[in-house]
Structure 1
Amino acid sequence: MNLKYHGKEQSLYFISSESGTQQLWKMEIDSREKYKLTDSDQNIKNFWIEEDHITVATDYHGNERNQFHKFDGKDMITLVDQPDCFHHYGEYDAGKDMYTAIRNHHASSSFELCSIDGAGTVAVMGEFEAPIHFIHELSEGQLLLSMDVNNVDQMLMVFDTASGEVKELPFPQARFSSFKFVRDTCLCLSDLGNGFKNIYEIDLEDGTYVKRTGFNWDIEHFKLSKDDRTAILSCNENGSSLLYTLDLTTWEVVQMPFKKNGVIHSLSIGRADDVFLIYSSVDQPHCIYRYSLDRKDFELIADNLPAEEVSWRMASYSSFDGTEIPYFIYEAESGHGAVIHIHGGPESQARPEFNALYHLLNRAGLCVAVPNIRGSMGYGRTYLEADDREKRLDAMKDVVELRQHLIDTDHADSANISVMGRSYGGLMTLLLVTHHPDLWTAAVDIVGISHLRTFLLGTPPWRRSLRAAEYGSIEGQGEFLDDISPLTRSRDITAPLMIFHSHHDSRVPYTESVQMAEALAKSGQDAAFTAYENEGHTFMHQENIDDMNRKIAEFLIGYHTKG
Structure 2
Amino acid sequence: MNLKYCDKKRRLYFISNESGMHQLWEMDIADQKKRKVTSFSQNTKNFWIEANHIVVATDYNGNERNQYHKLDSRIATEITSRPDYFHYYGKYKVGEDSYIVIRNHYEHSTFELCKMEGQGNIEVIYVFSNPIHFIHELSTDRYLLSMDVDNIDQILMIFDKKSGEPVVLPLPKARFSAFKFIRDTCFCLCDIEDGYKNIYEIDINNGRYKKRTFFKWDIEHFKLFNDNKEAMISCNEDGFSKLYRLNLTTWEVVQLPFNREGVIHSLAIRGQQEVFLIYSSVDQPHLIYCYDLDQKSFKVMAGNEACEPISFKTASYPSFDGTQIPYFIYESESDMGAVIHIHGGPESQSRPEFNTLYYLLNKTGLCVAVPNIRGSMGYGRPYLEADDKEKRLDAMKDVVELRRHLIKTEHADASRVSVMGRSYGGLMTLLLVTHQPSLWRAAVDIVGLSDLGTFFSHTPPWRRRMRAAEYGSMETHGSFLKDISPLSRSRQITAPLMIFHSHHDSRVPYTESKQMAEVMEENGQDVTFTVYDNEGHTFMHRENLEDMHHKIANFLTTLHEKK
Q: Distance in 2 between matches of 1:528 and 1:357?
A: 19
Maintained 8 Å contact 1:37/1:73? no
Q: Distance in 2 between matches of 1:400 and 1:53?
A: 52
Q: Which amino acid aligns with 1:442?
A: A
Maintained 8 Å contact 1:107/1:461? no
Match of 1:62 in 2: 62
Q: Distance in 2 between matches of 1:440 and 1:191?
A: 38
Match of 2:77 in 1: 77
Q: Distance in 2 between matches of 1:226 and 1:533?
A: 48
SS at match of 1:291: strand
SS at match of 2:547: helix
Maintained 8 Å contact 1:503/1:534? yes
Q: How does 1:97-112 map to 2 (within 5 A)?
A: 97-112=97-112
Q: Distance in 2 between matches of 1:183 and 1:41?
A: 42
Normalization by structure 1: what TM-score?
0.99
Maintained 8 Å contact 2:81/2:119? no
Q: How does 1:515-554 map to 2 (within 5 A)?
A: 515-554=515-554
Q: CA deviation at 1:4?
A: 0.5
Q: Deviations over 1:175-230 (max 9, x none)?
A: 11111111421111000111100000111122111100000000010000041011
Normalization by structure 2: what TM-score?
0.99
SS at match of 1:456: helix
SS at match of 1:488: coil
Q: Distance in 2 between matches of 1:91 and 1:262?
A: 33
Match of 1:17 in 2: 17
Q: CA deviation at 1:293?
A: 1.6
| Percentage of identical aligned residues | 67
Q: CA deviation at 1:534?
A: 0.1
Structure 1 spans left out of the alignment, 5+ residues: none
Q: Distance in 1 between matches of 2:399 and 2:34?
A: 43
Q: Which amino acid aligns with 1:373?
A: I
Q: Distance in 1 between matches of 2:247 and 2:183?
A: 14
Q: CA deviation at 1:73?
A: 3.7
Q: Which amino acid aligns with 2:408?
A: D
Maintained 8 Å contact 2:12/2:26? yes
Maintained 8 Å contact 2:449/2:513? yes
Q: Give 4+ residue runs of structure 1 displaced > 2 Å after superposition.
A: none
Match of 1:365 in 2: 365
SS at match of 1:387: coil
Q: Distance in 2 between matches of 1:263 and 1:476?
A: 40
Q: Deviations over 1:339-387 (max 9, x none)?
A: 0000000000000000111111101110000000000000000000000
Match of 2:333 in 1: 333
SS at match of 1:445: strand
Q: Which amino acid aligns with 1:504?
A: H
Match of 1:156 in 2: 156
The answer to whether the aligner puts 1:507 opposite 2:498 as a matched pair is no
Q: Distance in 1 between matches of 2:436 and 2:5?
A: 50
SS at match of 2:489: helix
Q: CA deviation at 1:155?
A: 0.5
SS at match of 1:407: helix
Structure 2 spans left out of the alignment, 5+ residues: none
Maintained 8 Å contact 2:504/2:510? yes
Q: Which amino acid aligns with 1:35?
A: R
Moved more, 332-341 or 158-167: 158-167
Moved more, 142-151 or 202-211: 202-211
Q: Deviations over 1:301-350 (max 9, x none)?
A: 11113211100011100000000000000000011000000000000000
SS at match of 2:420: strand
Q: Deviations over 1:88-128 (max 9, x none)?
A: 00011121111111000011110000011134411100000
Q: Distance in 1 between matches of 2:49 and 2:362?
A: 40
What's the Cα RMSD here?
Answer: 0.8
Q: Deviations over 1:269-310 (max 9, x none)?
A: 112211110000001100100111222211111111321110
Match of 1:440 in 2: 440
Q: Distance in 1 between matches of 2:155 and 2:457?
A: 26
SS at match of 1:95: helix
SS at match of 1:308: coil
Aligned residues: 563
Match of 2:456 in 1: 456
Moved more, 163-172 or 387-396: 163-172
Q: Which amino acid aligns with 1:12?
A: L
